[in-house]
Structure 1
């Protein structure tokens, strides 16, 4: 019984094998179809959540050189969850499992296969697909850029706690995107290890390298930008905290005589007007509420009861 989907395409001097699985048990079914890839299939079945990469570099018989590994990717329909694809590539074969090619490339499988046939080597075809995995990352980075630029335009004297939380959320998003680039970096380095310069100069590989470089440069830039914004918010929070402590210290010093006077007055049980007036306690409570309101108004105007709404 075959897996959910298997296709083998002859691309001139090399072959492309594509498998789309329904469940983990389908790995064993692939082994029946491709017994020569049994070690790769067993490795793929064991590691379904984490990336891995194995390189065979035979100096005596270069035709035996191969890469076995996996990489995470996202598509437009799954931008919030990372998908894991497995691959095997040597001089004459490319085997892919669990890579949703139509969602990744935006083309039908037949159209994508026709493009893959135009490549002379399987490593070029793999790099063509790896280049496609960078497109959703760059789209997310563009969206991330718009959010960061908007945040930078806000005045930090109106800085809100939820804006600090947003910075941490963005940092988490950056870490997720960087996690997607790590296996691609490994594949890039492994390719340089086992392939000659003639292979590395191929257009598909060169295109991937440049796009990958652009992606990592943008991630590095926004990581530094976020760090600067977090440092600025920390400095601002420290400054505001010092300002509040100084003002509250002054407030305490200024009101201490009144508090002491009230304490002394409270010990006088003979001259207590509120006991003899009909609404004495009501007047006292209203007076207490009035002065409490004045203090609260002062604290509010200083912005210490919570940040005031941003004003344009």
Structure 2
């Protein structure tokens, strides 16, 4: 157990899940429900107790890290917050890559309420997420230009990987927004109107706006890919159709002269081979010219230009 006596008015205590007996005396009467969840719960949840006459409390569990590859690879901690104390269970501060723990403790040390200390931690947690989201933005920008420069099936796989990562980020952010609303619902004195609460809310909303915008970008990429794939599929089918039509005379004459009839006048012609060759070439070119005049070939038989979506 770690205990931080951060001010004369409140304290922050950290426990592991094995310290149940040491946690129980610190809780209010409704703390047994939270302790049971600490033992059994492995998902996000939140409870707000704000009686008219009695101490207000916000408690629950929060998943703060999640692997993009394995749904069972995540980090969760449990919290219990009143005006004069903040209790955490299984909070691994060493897992945060971008949080300066000494600076965090100094910031929390300046607060007058446990709720403000908890809000400062949430703000730093949001900073941690925002740094990771910035890296996501770099990868998304690279992906956007890859679609133009080298559009292939592998790119589509990367698009849907980014889409899945975005869904994971949003699943982490939703319970944090709920927690912010829970603190508002509890209506702790001077907290909802304070600078710390406002700053933390702005960080949460900034992350929400960024993820929503990235979601619009990825949806636009997916729509673009669907249009391009549909267009190219249609072009391929048209091209195959045109090629089949152009070579129809060759196949027809080949089928005709491949028959085994006993009497075939062409077999006795001195220049029959040359005649057949010229006839095949002439009818093929005639048919191609007809398709060209009608405008049915378009640019189907041209190669795709590098860096172009359709040409």
The answer to whether structure 1 residue 57 and structure 2 residue 50 are counterparts is: yes
Alpha carbons 2:3, 2:11 under 8 Å: kept: no
Q: How much has 1:111 moved relative to structure 2?
A: 6.0
Which residues of 2 match residues 63-102 of structure 1 at below 5 A? 63-74=54-65, 81-102=73-94
Q: Structure 1 length as normaliser, TM-score?
A: 0.75
Q: 1:74 aligns to what SS in structure 2?
A: strand
Alpha carbons 2:62, 2:76 under 8 Å: kept: yes
Please state which structure has a larger fraction of its residues in helix.
Answer: 1
Q: How much has 1:143 moved relative to structure 2?
A: 1.3
Q: 1:199 aligns to what SS in structure 2?
A: coil
| CA displacement 1:21-59 (0-9 Å, x = unmatched) | 3xx5x15444466465433211121112x1000111212
Q: Relative to structure 1, is the Cα distance of residues 191 and 32 closer, same or farther in structure 2, using a 3 angstrom cutoff?
A: closer
The answer to whether structure 1 residue 205 and structure 2 residue 201 are counterparts is: no
Q: 2:48 aligns to what SS in structure 1?
A: strand
2:151 to 159, 180, 201: 159
| CA displacement 1:146-197 (0-9 Å, x = unmatched) | 2222233346485211111111110101011111111111111111111157
Partner residue in 1 for 2:7: 11
Aligned residues: 266
Aligned CA-pair RMSD: 3.0
Q: Relative to structure 1, is the Cα distance of residues 302 and 187 closer, same or farther in structure 2, using a 3 angstrom cutoff?
A: same
2:232 to 206, 228, 240: 240
Partner residue in 2 for 1:229: 221
Partner residue in 1 for 2:173: 181
The answer to whether structure 1 residue 47 and structure 2 residue 41 are counterparts is: yes
Partner residue in 2 for 1:279: none
User: Structure 2: any 5+ residue segments left out of the alignment?
Assistant: 265-299
Q: How much has 1:204 moved relative to structure 2?
A: 2.0
User: Structure 1: any 5+ residue segments left out of the alignment?
Assistant: 272-298
1:255 to 242, 247, 259: 247
Question: C-alpha distance in 2, partners of 1:269/1:130?
Answer: 90
Question: C-alpha distance in 2, partners of 1:157/1:117?
Answer: 52
Q: Structure 2 length as normaliser, TM-score?
A: 0.75
Alpha carbons 1:74, 1:136 under 8 Å: kept: no
Q: How much has 1:144 moved relative to structure 2?
A: 1.7
Q: Relative to structure 1, is the Cα distance of residues 120 and 32 closer, same or farther in structure 2, using a 3 angstrom cutoff?
A: closer
Q: Relative to structure 1, is the Cα distance of residues 116 and 85 closer, same or farther in structure 2, using a 3 angstrom cutoff?
A: same
Question: C-alpha distance in 2, partners of 1:89/1:170?
Answer: 35
| CA displacement 1:244-279 (0-9 Å, x = unmatched) | 1111111111222222333344444999xxxxxxxx
